[in-house]
Structure 1
């Protein structure tokens, strides 16, 4: 075996360890996503306390996203990720331990949820830079699509199983399983042989955290394609947030699918994730064939058309087809934008650039889309009106992408280089 073949084999082995760590970690986190609200409701009987869990878990990306990216670019990513996984395991273990001692309170669960999500923000920042370093930018689209597909399958499969488990056993002991998965993730990351970070003069230069944050923001603003994809991606995420917020009332009032005891609702929940799995399969081929600029210009209007088709459906089977198409197009846009940012970002800026992009999309776009949809629905337009508001935000993003010449110029540059 020559050195190049041996290196490729080593990358594949390490990527499998990395992939296993991420899938195990995501699966464990999804258990807690189901179990924590149920646990708080059992402790308090209060919808307010229960909704506070979701708020506590959503805040950290907005509060710490920028500083997490700056810190993750300064330190050894492997060491940081292992430490964060172990700390997460300890925090999670405190919940079943306090429950077993009859000392668990809703405040404990709320603070633990906030702290765990804060640790995840820093882990996610390091993770953004770790994957390009591990596999190399030439393999990045394929590797990230594989990762996205595997974690999406977990997102489809785990919540229903966790919901069934919560119905059979108490939620607190179930959270102990998430503590085990966090430790397993740490051990798998520790087993990776190849480095997850690189040393450059930039990483060793003594600069302030604020200067580091500014460098990441400057890169996003200075790179016209990254800037446009990030801004358009925020409107795209807002439309996804509107769908998440309106799914249950839209199913109930428009499709005749009851909010409880109706298996058709599970199909509506699952089809978005199925679209994500399909996108993970096709993005590497589409990206290689079309180029990333052309793929973005194609996928964005496809996402809008699928959103409008969903909005117009009145039968649950038609909605399943439309939402699966929407989930596929939506995930193509997300995968394409993330891998492009990772490919063009210098290694010493990976965490800052990609964490900022995630913060705008997931931390700003999705909750804003959900809030706008909810406000429109409550104002009298109903669930269909809320979805229409989300589709309108998406249409604004599509119009910006097509009216701005940036992506078209990048598309022509790609054709000329071929």
Structure 2
């Protein structure tokens, strides 16, 4: 697994994710503190950042099957670095407003879609099929580390330097990723011209015929609405309702990332001990339980303990599902369809994020935090039925 090509890919995506973890705190904090955004405005911001998955995923997937996905990743890194640099320049000169921040978030989301779809299209050309689960575990482990240390670093940098300058760390991570990826000399995911024929919807038809992939994608769509509502609501709850500091928000997201990190490290042994089906279905129930802890904590005023425990559980649930889901998808999908299948999965899973962000903005504006978290937790638990009533329960 640890060839030079995969190690370069892994380090580039890991550093890029670390910088993005900084922005998870810095961007909404910039909106809340410098531009005086409330819960609804934070919901709009998160929704616009995720909306490009709905608009561009299928197109990007088709391009990833026709062009070199590695080049798409490098271009996305460069443009995102420039966009963040522009936001910092406008914020430090007092020219930034919510409309410009919304537009920047949408543009950042568009190039994040490009990077996200292209990176999974590249990976099967770097890793043998027998190493797909450990390779995905290594990628998820790095993502967990990014979610653990990135938001905490973002909270610290925001407290010390203010929100706008801390975005420079994210821009720098994109520059590092672009430079590292450009050192890859091996032709990556290049396919003969005759295999490039087809339509953007071919991936949708393949996924619809595969019962396990179809159910997992449906579940991802529903669960990511809940997960995004949880994450957006967590920011609104801490910054708007509790008036917590940026460091507290960073620590909460750090707990989420810590759960992610632990689960990613245990992904392979957990699969061997309990089997893939138990991991996938159990992670769904655990995610709802974590959000329920936040609801109880907000109702009983338990403070940061409930926030940290709930965020840890929700974070732990994600890799337990993701590692199995991605490994299955990359193993069973024909190479000439991989970009388009990945695009459909991202369209459904990430395209649902704006709904979660908007739902959080509405719920946390009109309901108490405890009630809002309880609604999200209930929806998350009910989503498990999609997996239980599908061929996923026979997943090996």
| Secondary structure of the structure 2 residue equivalent to 1:191 | coil
Gap change, CA 1:95 and 1:85, over 3 Å in 2: same
Identify the residue that residue 389 of structure 2 maps to in structure 1: 403
Contact 2:239 2:249 (C-alpha < 8 Å) held by counterparts: no
Superposed CA offset, 1:344-377 (max 9, x none): 222222222223222322321x443454455455
Unaligned runs of 5+ in 1: 1-7
1:272-291 → structure 2 map (5 Å cutoff): 272-291=256-275
| Pairwise CA distance, 1:228 | 0.5
Give the distance between the partners of 1:199 and 1:144, measured in 2 at CA.
23
Residues 306-353 of structure 1 deviation map (CA, whole Å, 9 limit, x = unaligned)? 444554454343554454234312431233222222222222222222
Change in Cα spacing, 1:374 to 1:34, as seen in structure 2 (3 Å) is closer
CA distance in 1, matches of 2:114, 2:46: 19
1:328 aligns with: 316
Question: 1:95–1:407: structure 2 CA closer, same or farther, 3 Å change rule?
Answer: closer
Aligned counterparts of 1:303 and 1:64: Cα–Cα separation in 2:
28
Matching residue of 1:121: 113
Q: How far did residue 93 of structure 1 move?
A: 3.5
TM-score normalised by L of structure 2: 0.84
Partner residue in 1 for 2:327: 339
Aligned mates of 2:158, 2:290 — CA distance in 1: 34
2:184 pairs with one of 183, 188, 192: 192
Among residues 265, 276, 283, which one is paired with 1:292 in the alignment?
A: 276
Give the structure 1 partner of residue 376 of structure 2: 390
Aligned to 1:30: 21
For residues 43-91 of structure 1, give each alpha carbon's deviation from its aligned partner in whole angstroms, at most 9, with x where no partner exists: 7556587765434322212211121111111101122222222233333
- Checking the alignment, whether the CA contact within 8 Å between 1:377 and 1:383 is kept in structure 2 is yes
2:336 is matched with which residue? Answer: 348
Q: How far off is 1:249 after superposition?
A: 6.8
Output the CA distance in 1 between the equivalents of 2:333 and 2:225: 25
Runs of at least 5 residues in structure 2 that lack an aligned partner in the other structure: none
Shift of 1:226: 0.3
Which stretch shows the higher mean deviation, 158-167 or 73-82?
158-167
Decide whether the 8 Å contact of 1:369 with 1:390 is kept in 2: no
> Can you list the C-alpha shifts for 1:100-141, whole angstroms capped at 9, x where unaligned?
8x5944355543433232112112111111112211222122
8 Å Cα contact 2:47/2:355 also seen in 1: no
TM-score by length of 1: 0.80
Q: 65-74 vs 382-391, which deviates more?
A: 382-391
Matched residue, 2:64:
72
Structure 1 counterpart of 2:351: 363
Deviations 1:125-164 (A, max 9, x none): 1111111221122212211221222122222222333333
Secondary structure of the 2:184 match is coil
State the partner residue of 1:5.
Answer: none
CA separation of 1:296 and 1:32: change in aligned 2, threshold 3 A: closer
Q: 1:73 to 1:252 in 2, by over 3 A?
A: closer
* Pair 1:243-2:235 in alignment: no
Could you tell me whether the CA contact under 8 Å between 1:24 and 1:181 is conserved in 2? Answer: yes
Say what the alpha-carbon RMSD is for the aligned residues: 3.4
Identify the range of structure 1 (146-155 vs 316-325) with the bigger mean alpha-carbon deviation. Answer: 316-325
Alignment of 1:122-271 (within 5 A): 122-169=114-161, 171-200=163-192, 203-205=195-197, 207=198, 211-212=199-200, 214-247=201-234, 258-261=242-245, 267-271=251-255
Alpha-carbon distance in 2 for matches of 1:264, 1:29: 18
Distance, in Å, in 2 between the alignment partners of 1:236 and 1:50 is 20
Residue 3 of structure 1 corresponds to which residue in structure 2?
none
Assess if the C-alpha contact under 8 Å between 1:34 and 1:159 holds in 2: yes
Counterpart Cα distance in 1 of 2:54 and 2:277:
28
Q: Per-residue deviation at 1:218?
A: 0.6
Q: What is the distance in 1 between the residues matched to 2:281 and 2:21?
A: 33
Change (3 A) 1:238 1:278: same
Q: Number of aligned pairs?
A: 390
| Higher RCO, 1 vs 2 (CA within 8 Å, ≥6 residues apart) | 2
Secondary structure class of the residue paired with 2:189: coil
How far apart are residue 98 of structure 1 and its match? Answer: 6.0
- Asked if structure 1 preserves the Cα contact closer than 8 Å seen for 2:42 and 2:232, the reply is no
Q: Which has the larger radius of gyration?
A: 1
Deviations 1:376-399 (A, max 9, x none): 55555x322222222222232212
Q: Structure 2 vs 1, CA of residues 114 and 321 (structure 1 numbering), >3 Å: closer, same or farther?
A: closer
1:272 is displaced (CA, Å) by 1.8
